């Protein structure tokens, strides 16, 4: 089974109206990220239908995207919804949560990003949920929370934004961390390629971030990109002499990693 550790099915509908049919045809499980209740309920419906049809599952994730704190008009209401979803068992992972300091516009919201991340982390710890982390140009914001992250069942870094040393440091600190890679390794982002080639095999995941991280020459990303991402990851590991040198082997191991990361069982 193919797996997609981070995607946005709600947002993919416009570019790919048959996205759910394509996902099932690809036999691809995915972790669906929502940042409002409308999106979450859409993904929840897909997950319920998939379960009824014995189709590949969707893992339900929910958090305010670090780029979008201003989109939340009432933080108290949002926090109440997050708590309700987590307490009811409907929520399977908190995310994508974290920080984005890529440019000056995002930096102006750093204070509210700090507040929202603290709430997300508290909810994940309280309800023993995995956390999906977004940390673009912000790994220095993550490390001070290592002790708290260590308490979580798992931490999944979407589109791993760090260096090889930073990844190894999180592991040495005892964080049950998984590193997800997508278009960046195919589009020749050298640090992402180095990390994908060298980080432990049992910590690797792949993702599309559909529809937001297209492979070069494409207009949007989707589950159709997963084989190319896995093939590139296998080549990188083969060239580096690391375990996980064939695409078939890597796909199987990444599925096992996905199940561990998201506490998913048949």
Binding residues for a divalent metal cation, by number, are 6, 8, 96, 134, 158, 209
Instruction: Give SS3 for 27.
Output: coil
Please give the helix or strand (H or E) that residue 230 lies within, else none. helix 226-240
- CA–CA gap between residue 233 and residue 231 (Å, rounded): 5
| Structural contact between residues 97 and 7, judged by C-beta atoms closer than 8 angstroms | no
Please state, in angstroms and rounded to a whole number, the distance separating the CA atoms of residues 191 and 194.
5
Comparing CA positions, the residue from 53, 52, 42 lying closest to residue 7 is 42
Distance (Å, rounded) from C-alpha 49 to C-alpha 57? Answer: 9
Tell me the binding residues.
6, 8, 96, 134, 158, 209
CA gap 178, 257 in Å, rounded: 8
The span from the CA of 202 to the CA of 149, in Å, is 19
The DSSP output letter for 80 is H
């Amino acid at each position: 089974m193919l797996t997609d550790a981070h995607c946005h099915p709600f947002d993919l509908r416009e570019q790919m109206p048959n996205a759910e049919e394509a996902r099932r045809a690809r036999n691809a499980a995915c972790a669906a990220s929502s940042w409002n209740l409308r999106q979450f309920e859409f993904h929840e419906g897909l997950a319920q239908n998939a379960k009824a049809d014995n189709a590949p599952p969707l893992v339900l994730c929910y958090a305010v995207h670090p780029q979008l704190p201003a989109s939340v008009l009432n933080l108290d209401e949002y926090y109440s919804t997050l708590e309700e979803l987590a307490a009811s068992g409907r929520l399977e992972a908190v995310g994508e949560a974290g920080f984005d300091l890529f440019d000056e516009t995002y930096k102006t919201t750093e204070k509210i990003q700090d507040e929202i991340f603290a709430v997300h982390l508290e909810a994940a710890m309280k309800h023993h949920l995995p956390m999906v982390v977004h940390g673009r140009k912000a790994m220095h914001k993550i490390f001070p929370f290592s002790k708290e992250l260590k308490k979580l069942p798992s931490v999944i870094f979407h589109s791993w934004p760090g260096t090889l040393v930073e990844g190894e440091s999180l592991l040495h600190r005892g964080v049950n961390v998984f590193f997800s890679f997508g278009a960046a390794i195919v589009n020749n982002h050298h640090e992402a390629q180095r990390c994908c080639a060298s980080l432990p095999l049992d910590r690797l995941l792949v993702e599309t971030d559909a529809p937001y991280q297209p492979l070069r020459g494409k207009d949007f990303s989707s589950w159709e990109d997963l084989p190319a991402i896995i093939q590139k990851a296998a080549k990188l590991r083969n060239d580096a002499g690391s375990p996980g040198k064939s695409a078939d082997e890597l796909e199987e191991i990444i599925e096992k990693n996905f199940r561990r990361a998201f506490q998913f069982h048949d």
